[in-house]
Structure 1
């Protein structure tokens, strides 16, 4: 199950993922903890930014973290080693994992399904690895939930480039809005989904810096070269769009974005 990670495997992307995880830790991980001794599968751990949250918020779990990128796994191992936590690491494809059926108590995915060409198949395969009564927790974003002040068609155009490029790569950056039906259709029971909203203005400087600038604008900037090469925007149009988007992080600007979180059972 190859995936074209539209943001790229770069040091800048690693920094962005780290900033995002730290800034949104309470928002995204609030209410998610696993009992000590639970066997937990983190499917798609990336550079380990969310892995750190899992091992620090659910101490004593037996965590197995998997990713398709060996480079990302190396980053994750180094990051988690600093916490002193023990994690079992695997390089592999979510559609072909080397684990027995019904061998995990819980499965956790964060910002993974949006990059997969067939998230339904991935969810079905992962369900096989869960014990009866086990849970799956999924967190995803929805780029069309981004709105900001001051309004700007140029800024919206560069965001749309990200949405379109991710779709061309086989992903879906709007997947957050459909987590509930996705999990239900994949055979999970008792599926619940809810929004996790970020709002930032000058009275919330940690969110302006950590989310508006270092997470969202940095994410849009990551596809600059692709967008220009594809003829979606000229270099001048791209620069104008980013300048306008940055106004949302300045005095008098505001920014809003919604993530979605869903939990289901086997």
Structure 2
């Protein structure tokens, strides 16, 4: 088992944050995520269904199967999709990524969004998914990179709280910087034709929907949520943490700017199955 604890928690606040993130970034991340009618698509680690809504909206004719290890998250996902895309037919399955209850080559496409950052061994996870993906089928992976965040006004205290969040995720076995690793991870896992594209978010007062939906409700909310853990771990004091969050919030005010980069990868499963650790020729 190589999953980690979910560093952001499972609160209703986190559910709302994930929804804000997905809705705000839908066009940026998923406008080109389109699967043919009748194709079988496996969404791995669907969580509360924040991305599932946009997956079924962009590919209404696809047969989507959504998997997550958390029964509570699956219940929230089912409710979200029923409310926002009531016409969609999704099969909801509780299962671990490393023990999927599907036949070999059962799916035409696999979709993985904001999952690898929480895994101790993302390469092993990607390799494991080749079993259920048909030869010639595709995998789509979306991940962020928290170290890509920069902002104005710049602040050492704000940069410190972001660094503490990255550290806490690493201590939990994850990698908040995994976006920059997608190409080598997919290649090592045995996929071919790997193409990675950066997806940049830039927000200032002329883009109020991004300031509110991403800078405030997604990124700052994510960092702020781990304050207690950062203090408990001795990474900072409460006063230092609060000043860092205060400085970070200035990037969402008039005169502030915020930048972040996501990475989206698409790759193909080759005809021959991949054996992890085997030499490629």
Mapped to 1, the partners of 2:238 and 2:181 lie a distance apart of 34
TM-score, normalised to structure 2, is: 0.94
Q: Which moved more, 1:134-143 or 1:67-76?
A: 67-76
Mapped to 2, the partners of 1:158 and 1:92 lie a distance apart of 34
Residues 31 and 58 in structure 2, CA contact (< 8 A), matched pair in contact too: no
Gaps of 5+ in 1: none
1:141-187 CA distance string (max 9 Å, x none): 00000000001011011101100000000000000001011001100
Instruction: Name 1:246's counterpart in structure 2.
Output: 249
1:71-124 CA distance string (max 9 Å, x none): 111100111112121111111110000001100000000000000001111101
Mapped to 1, the partners of 2:13 and 2:4 lie a distance apart of 19
TM-score, normalised to structure 1, is: 0.99
Mapped to 2, the partners of 1:169 and 1:222 lie a distance apart of 15
Mapped to 2, the partners of 1:17 and 1:190 lie a distance apart of 30
SS at match of 1:19: helix
SS at match of 2:264: strand
Mapped to 1, the partners of 2:255 and 2:104 lie a distance apart of 53
Instruction: Name 2:9's counterpart in structure 1.
Output: 8
Mapped to 2, the partners of 1:169 and 1:31 lie a distance apart of 33
Instruction: Name 1:154's counterpart in structure 2.
Output: 157
In the TM superposition, residue 3 of structure 1 has moved relative to its aligned partner by 2.1
Instruction: Name 1:182's counterpart in structure 2.
Output: 185
Instruction: Name 1:98's counterpart in structure 2.
Output: 101
Q: Which of residues 183, 190, 194 in structure 2 aligns to 1:191?
A: 194
SS at match of 1:126: helix
Runs (4+) of structure 1 moved beyond 3 Å? none
Instruction: Name 2:213's counterpart in structure 1.
Output: 210
SS at match of 2:66: strand
SS at match of 1:24: helix
Instruction: Name 2:48's counterpart in structure 1.
Output: 47
Mapped to 2, the partners of 1:181 and 1:250 lie a distance apart of 38
In the TM superposition, residue 31 of structure 1 has moved relative to its aligned partner by 1.0
Mapped to 2, the partners of 1:206 and 1:255 lie a distance apart of 13
Q: Superposed, which structure 2 residues align to 1:29-40 within 5 Å? A: 29-40=30-41
Instruction: Name 1:262's counterpart in structure 2.
Output: 265
Mapped to 2, the partners of 1:223 and 1:231 lie a distance apart of 13
Instruction: Name 1:200's counterpart in structure 2.
Output: 203
Instruction: Name 1:57's counterpart in structure 2.
Output: 58
Mapped to 1, the partners of 2:130 and 2:259 lie a distance apart of 33
Instruction: Name 1:86's counterpart in structure 2.
Output: 89
In the TM superposition, residue 68 of structure 1 has moved relative to its aligned partner by 1.0
In the TM superposition, residue 232 of structure 1 has moved relative to its aligned partner by 1.0
Q: Superposed, which structure 2 residues align to 1:216-231 within 5 Å? A: 216-231=219-234
RMSD of Structure 2 on Structure 1 (CA): 0.7
In the TM superposition, residue 30 of structure 1 has moved relative to its aligned partner by 1.8
SS at match of 1:95: helix
In the TM superposition, residue 225 of structure 1 has moved relative to its aligned partner by 1.1
Mapped to 2, the partners of 1:98 and 1:167 lie a distance apart of 29
Instruction: Name 2:276's counterpart in structure 1.
Output: none
Query: Number of residues paired by the alignment?
Result: 266
